[in-house]
Amino acid sequence: MAQAYMQETGRDGTGPERAGSRARRLMDQWRDRDVWRRGVVLAALAALLGLLMLLHTHLPNKVGNLGSLTETFLPWLGLGIPVLLVLAVLRRSATALVALLLPIVVWTNLFGGLLGDKSGKGGNFTVASHNVNAENPDPERTAKDVAASGADVVALEELKPSAVPTYERALASTYKHHSVQGTVGIWSKYPLQLAQPVDIRMGWTRALRATVKTPQGPVAVYVAHLPSVRVKFNAGFTAGQRDSSAEALGRAIAQEPEKKVILLGDLNGTMNDRSLAPITSQLRSAQGAAGDGFGFSWPASFPMARIDQIMVRGMEPVSAWTLPDTGSDHLPVAARVKI
C-alpha cells in the first residue's frame, strides 16, 4: 500500500511530480539570461537568409549571373528555415528564434500565395505545352499522353526532325491543324492562320507565332524554346544566349497586334528570374494566377523548378496544372483560360 501511494504521488521520483520538475527545469533554462547570448552565429545565419530572399533582386548578374541563379531556385532557400529552427531549439537560443522571424515572413510573403489551390471552374480554352526531349525513346506515347489532356491547343518543343512524322501521325486524329517551324510545333483543334517562325537570335528556328481561330475570336499563340542554361564551376550560371533570346521574344510579343496572346514553351527560366523580364513584364503566368502549388516541371524525375511556362494577356486564367511523366525529362504543363 505504501509503495502504491508513493508511486501515485510521485514521491519516489516518478509520476507527475517528476514530469513537473522536468518542465520547471526546462523553463528555468529558457529564463536564463544566456538564452539571449547563445546562438549568435545561428541568428546571423537566419538574418542572412532572410536578407538574401528579401534583397535577391540586388544580387549582381555581372559575376556568373549570380542573381539569376539564386532566383531560379529561390523557393528552395526556405528549406534553411526548419534547419535553423531545430538548431535554435537545441541550442536554446532565444536570439536565433527571434531572428528566424525575418526569413519566415519574407518567404511567406514571396511564396505563401502559391501553397494553396487557386484553380477555379469554367473557362473555354485549354492549352498544353511540353518539351518532349529530342532523345525521347517513345515519341508516340508522349504525343498520346499530351493529347489525353484534352487541350484545344498543344505546343511541343525540342522536336527532332526525324521524330516529327511520328508526332504528326499520333496527333492527327485529335488535332486537324498544325504547324512545325524548326524544332517547335503547334497542334490545334481550331484553324491556324499566319503560322510563321519568330527570330529569337538562335541561328535556327526555336520559336513560332500563329493565330488560332477560336469560337471566341482570334488568339495569337507563341511557342518558344529559349536556349539552355548551364552552371559551370569556372563561369557560373551561363545564360547570356538565353537572355538575348528573351529580349528578342519580348520585342516580338510587344509588337503583337492581337489583343489576346498566349505564350507556351520552355523558357529555361522561372518567373522569378529577372532576365526574363522582357517577357514576364508583358504577360501573366497562368500557374501563378490559377495554379495549385509551385507547379515545378523540371527535371521530371524530381521537379525542382518551373521552367515550362504558360503565360497570357487579354484573358483570364482559370486553372493550371502539370501532367504526369511522359518519358521526357520535362513534365507537360497545362492551363485553362477564359477568353
Interval 259-271 mean pLDDT: 97
Nearest Cα to 322, choosing from 249, 107, 307?
Answer: 307
Q: Which three cell numbers stand for residue 201?
A: 537570335
pLDDT in tens, 16-61: 566 666 656 655 555 566 778 889 999 999 999 999 999 999 988 7
What is the maximal distance between C-alpha atoms in the chain?
A: 96
| H/E element, 165 | helix 164-171
Residue 185 pLDDT = 98
Please give the Cα distance from 69 to 13 (Å, whole number). 57
Nearest Cα to 226, choosing from 247, 212, 211, 210?
Answer: 247
Interval 190-205 mean pLDDT: 96
Helix, strand, or coil (residue 317): strand
More confident call, 213 vs 25: 213
Residue 31 pLDDT = 58
Task: Establish whether the linkage from the previous residue to 60 is cis, with ω within 30° of 0.
Answer: no
Residues 6+ apart with CB under 8 A from 195: 179, 181, 186, 208, 209, 210, 211
Residue 30 pLDDT = 55
% of the chain at pLDDT higher than 90? 76
Look at residue 327 and tell me whether its pLDDT is greater than 70: yes
The CA-based angle 298-315-322, given to 5 degrees, is 20
- Fold designation for 125-338: Deoxyribonuclease I; Chain A (3.60.10)
Beta strand 333-338 pairing with 284-285: unpaired
Q: Which three cell numbers stand for residue 120?
A: 477555379
Interval 81-94 mean pLDDT: 94
Q: Dihedral, CA atoms, 126, 132, 137, 143, nearest 10 degrees?
A: 20
Residue type, 101: L
12-21, 76-85, 197-206, 310-319: the lowest-pLDDT one: 12-21
Q: Which three cell numbers stand for residue 294?
A: 509551385
Residue 6 pLDDT = 47
Please give the Cα distance from 328 to 308 (Å, whole number). 13
Q: Which three cell numbers stand for residue 73?
A: 531556385
Helix, strand, or coil (residue 59): coil
**280: burial class by Cβ within 10 Å (0-12, 13-18, 19+)?**
buried
Evaluate whether 273 touches 71 at the Cβ level (below 8 Å). yes
Q: Provide the β-strand partners of residue 210.
A: 221
Interval 75-88 mean pLDDT: 96
For the chain, first and last CA: distance in Å? 82
Residue ranges of the domains in the chain?
32-114, 125-338
Helix, strand, or coil (residue 108): helix
Residues 6+ apart with CB under 8 A from 251: 278
Please give the Cα distance from 194 to 210 (Å, whole number). 5
Residue 199 pLDDT = 97
5-9, 168-172, 208-212, 257-261: the lowest-pLDDT one: 5-9
